[in-house]
Amino acid sequence: MTTRVYNFNPGPAALPLSAIEKARDELLSFRGTGMSIMEVSHRSAEFGALLKETDAGLRGLLAIPDDYAILYLGGGASLQFSMAPINLLGPGQTADYVETGEWSSKAIKEARKVGRVNVAASTKEEKFRRIPRPEELKLTPGAAYVHITSNNTIFGTQWQRFPDAGSVPLVADMSSDILSRPFDVKPFGLIYAGAQKNLGPAGVTVVIVRRDLVGKAPENTPTMLNYKTHLDGNSLFNTPPCFAIYMIKLVLDWVQEQGGLAAVAARNEKKARLLYDAIDNSNGFYRGTCDKDSRSRMNVTFVLGREELSEAFAKESSAASLKGLKGHRSVGGFRASIYNAVGMDAVEALVAMMEKFRKRNS
């Protein structure tokens, strides 16, 4: 038996053990085909069924209404930074963007290449330590859409309640918290998420788009960048990332077994509270880097009060099989990514190590 570690990687990230084991068990023969999922045709009946089941799984868990399509695309969430404005930002229109971290800054940069962008609010001056308050948003009346990043993976903040944009559709990059909590899909025109944090492996991006918003891209839009291509082709215009989609299906099964989104959200809440409590009750030995009312339940960022202990903390945590805790290279410090598949046991092990380390060094 190979030893598994406590995996706090920010992405690619931990997957449910049962999903990986299932994939291993049927690796040589996917559903009796005598071929692995990597070897079957994407046009086969078996893969068609898998795609349908994946769709139904996502639809059920997220309560996605029928007037939304689900697309499985390549190119990562990063490609959606371009595809969203190409498809939804018409000539003469303005798109509002809320800048809450590095990923939203990147989304803004790409959107500006396509059309007019209004940064409705930014917390960049405050090092992205919080989500803007509703009254700080300077929204454009009649905007094409309002873009937000639901969870800021690098800085460790998360929208606790999504902004109210009235009849203007919200567009959200939910790469790092999709499927972590229930939410109402209806205010959104578009939701996209790279799979490698909470949904599955890298290689596929889930795009949930309101059907009536598709088909407005300019005539000269490259075929592959047009949502209509993938909507009409049922994500089979070209070869989709078959293996990654298959893994999503297994992860969805696991979420279902956990009791669905509400149960998963409750567990996520508990995990985050345990970790934030350990930070807040450490007398400044550990310090959270974000405002409390903006804290993420997915990425818990912190620094050591005495910076000079950071290297020892990094070494000792790694020696205790607690992996992936280094903060993003742009911000430093530490970050525990506690996505759905990171169990309470992992968080408990981390908190125990933190306590031990603090007592020894206080």
- Select 30 or 333, whichever has its Cβ closest to ligand PLP: 333
Only one residue has tokens 């969203």, namely 84
Q: Could you give the dihedral angle defined by the CA atoms of residues 348, 248, 50 and 259, in that order, rounded to the nearest 10 degrees?
A: 40
- Select 30 or 241, whichever has its Cβ closest to ligand PLP: 241
SS3 state of residue 40: coil
Catalytic: 177?
A: no
Q: What is the DSSP letter of 326?
A: B
Only one residue has tokens 């790694």, namely 318
- Select 77 or 290, whichever has its Cβ closest to ligand PLP: 77
Catalytic: 173?
A: yes
Residues pairing with 148 in the sheet: 172
Cβ at position 231, least distance to ligand PLP in Å: 21
**First CA to last CA distance, the chain:** 38
Rounded CA-CA distance 205/73 in Å is 5
* Active-site residue identified among 55, 96, 159, 173: 173
210: left (phi over 0), alpha (psi -120 to 50) or beta: beta
Catalytic: 197?
A: yes
Residues interacting with ligand PLP, by CB under 6 A?
11, 76-78, 103, 149, 153, 173, 175-176, 194, 197
- Select 101 or 189, whichever has its Cβ closest to ligand PLP: 101
Cβ at position 257, least distance to ligand PLP in Å: 25
341 residue type, one letter:
A
* Active-site residue identified among 103, 159, 249, 271: 103
Cβ at position 1, least distance to ligand PLP in Å: 31
Cβ at position 175, least distance to ligand PLP in Å: 4
* Active-site residue identified among 55, 96, 159, 197: 197
- Select 156 or 278, whichever has its Cβ closest to ligand PLP: 156
Only one residue has tokens 């300077």, namely 138
Cβ at position 19, least distance to ligand PLP in Å: 19
Q: What is the DSSP letter of 92?
A: T
Rounded CA-CA distance 129/140 in Å is 25
Residues forming the active site: 103, 173, 197
